[in-house]
Amino acid sequence: MFITQFLTSEIEARRTKNLEYLKKVSPHFYQFMNLKGEVKAQAIYHLGRWDLLVNGVSLYGGDARLNTRRQFEEYLKTPNEFSPPFYVFWFPEDTVDGKLSHELTKLLAPARSADRCKQRKTVGTVIAFGVGLGFHIELLTEHYDIKQLILVETDVELIKPTLYTLDWEKLLSVYNGKEKIISFYLHKDPDLLAVGLLDHLTTYYNPTLLTSFHIYIHRNDPVLIEGAKKFWASNKSPIAGFGYFQDELWSLEYTLENIKRELPLYQGKKKVPSDSTAFVIGAGPSLEYAIDFIKKNQDRAVIFSCGSSIGTLYEEGIKPDFHVEIERTKFTYDALLLSASRDYLKELTIIFNNPMYPQVSELFKESLMFVKPNDTGGSLFPTDYPPVGYSNPTVVNAGLSLALHMGFRRVYLFGADMGYKDPRRHHARGNVALKKGTEFYKEVEAQEHELDGNFGGKVYTNSMLLWARSMIQDLLKLYKDAEVFNTSDGAKIEGTIPARIEEIVLSQFKKSEAIKLIKQDFSRDYLKALNLERKLSLLISHAEEYVNFVRERAKSISKPEDFFSFVSEAGLYQYRFYGSPFIYMFRPPFYNFSYALLSGICRMEQDQALEAGKTALKLYIDFLHECIKLIRKV
């Protein structure tokens, strides 16, 4: 079909009006629309019909508005609507989080009988893959009450045509940032698209609004289709591991103490020589088979021992160059003393994150610290000290992330099994988890999931290790220039290269130079730039302001759909405190509360949902008051 470009003065005027409006009210959006992409996209208007040519190929077949409406009507017949399971996160009963969790579990118990949320027009999140001329954006907005609309594309040139077709002033009056938001996410790589979208959901959006969400595929593009599939396969990540208030309170208390001790902080400015090799050692059972190899090759790699693997290395007489820890409770201190002698530990250098239990540093010859991302204590440091991402939930995650951040591009994983073939042999010999009569002993590990093995066969794992494996896979997508070899006879980890120990050949490099550069990249200069009194004062004032907002907003709730509005508004309101310790301390319990609330009431009948939701909000307000009291004590 022959299509002639014929953009009228009226249509050109709409583009000009849109750009002028965006420049005035949303400078970031305006700048975004003026970026240069790589795709050639050409808007076509002929005889009252729209089309879009993408690299010379028609996207809509001649009538974009008609075909988009047909697509939307087909979507409404079988919408890609998802409602993750009802869940109340559990926390220790002696914490303020545990008390709230206990009350919510009782209050929302009726929701357990329903598998899915009841269909309603209010939708927490819509993720639309493909923008094009954007007519589906209007249709989605008219049909649903969407709290956050995320538009995913591969190139900015495939968004610019909406300047001709949409009234952005009208759209942004709906998605005005007070209760509803609209945003874009771009990437050309399906793996990085999925990883980045998950990361953005936890950092910039409100992941609890995934309790009711839709995936809408508008443009049949291979990158978007594959990205959507990978996102869906990993969709549990944004609603897992939120953390909790008591955890952040410990972070605040312990970080302040570690700052008092003037521990050097990771700067992320120096990189090890390009030929450097690292061993990252976990505590999985396959570590036993690697011991002799590690002993023989200690001079050919910088060795990072992770968590409880130190017990096995101690018994085998191996001294790592750096020992890594991340757990912030006294649990870590006690485990170290059960794993190795004080004399052995005193010969080692430890690297840990800022909320580490302070007495841990006393056990080692030298203690180095890195910033934990999305953390209350971490927010106290100057922003030019980079947080080490993907450093949880296990210490192996931290060890590998540190090695890659430091510039290692050849890394060998030992004992990073991420599972077990025999649930009774879940750790290597010498591990504290195998010491009977201690609080750490575990006879049998859970067999919650089955995975493909690194060298074939099947491996069992638990939810924590499954999450840890997923985080490693996501991390490696960001370091495609790194070779990470998995020697473990455990679970297969995508992005790693399976390597049998007997086949590994290592080259010499200047190990001492690499270690020197690593240590030089930790500095005490941050102490000069701290402004603790101001940040702690802001934490209290922001918390009190937020409580007042919640109390007043709760008064206007009159129907179940209003709870989705409340969660969306409260989440956006919190961003006025972005960069303050408040956001890291109060956002995790807000997520926990909101997920329980929304996943519960969406499964209830109208009257039951309204009553339960109002009671839940009263519990949440009482919780916030108690949190402020605890902060004042610290």
pLDDT tens, residue by residue, 102-114: 999 999 999 888 8
Q: Strand, coil or helix: what is 348?
A: coil
Mean pLDDT of the chain, nearest integer: 92
- CA–CA distance from 451 to each of 282, 288, 413, 457, 490 (Å)? 19, 21, 18, 9, 9
Exposed (0-12), middle (13-18) or buried (19+): which is 507, by Cβ within 10 Å?
Answer: exposed
Q: Say which residue, 390 or 113, is predicted with more confidence.
A: 390
Overall average pLDDT of the 230-255 stretch: 80
Q: Strand, coil or helix: what is 304?
A: strand
Q: What is the pLDDT of residue 492?
A: 96
Q: Which helix (H) or strand (E) holds 410?
A: strand 410-414
Distance CA 347, CA 319 (A): 8
The two beta strands, 458-461 and 449-452, are antiparallel
* Rg (alpha carbons) of the chain, rounded to whole number: 27
Q: What is the pLDDT of residue 7?
A: 59
Overall average pLDDT of the 215-230 stretch: 93
pLDDT at 520 over 70: yes
Contact between residue 310 and residue 323 where contact means Cβ atoms under 8 Å apart: yes
Ranges of each domain in the chain? 263-523, 530-633
Complete edge-to-edge strand list for the sheet that includes strand 213-217: 81-82, 213-217, 122-129, 145-153, 181-186
- Closest of 392, 410, 558, 390 to residue 475, by C-alpha: 390
Overall average pLDDT of the 96-103 stretch: 96
> Please, where are the H alpha helices in 264-378?
291-296, 309-316, 330-339, 342-345
Q: What is the pLDDT of residue 2?
A: 34
Contact between residue 211 and residue 599 where contact means Cβ atoms under 8 Å apart: yes
Q: Say which residue, 622 or 431, is predicted with more confidence.
A: 622
pLDDT at 5 over 70: no
The two beta strands, 81-82 and 213-217, are antiparallel
Residue partners of 18: CB distance under 8 A and separation at least 6: 163, 166, 167, 168, 169
pTM higher than 0.85, yes or no?
A: no
- CA–CA distance from 533 to each of 538, 539, 624 (Å)? 9, 10, 22
pLDDT tens, residue by residue, 294-319: 999 999 999 999 999 999 999 999 99
- CA–CA distance from 468 to each of 394, 404, 478 (Å)? 6, 16, 16
Q: What is the pLDDT of residue 241?
A: 64
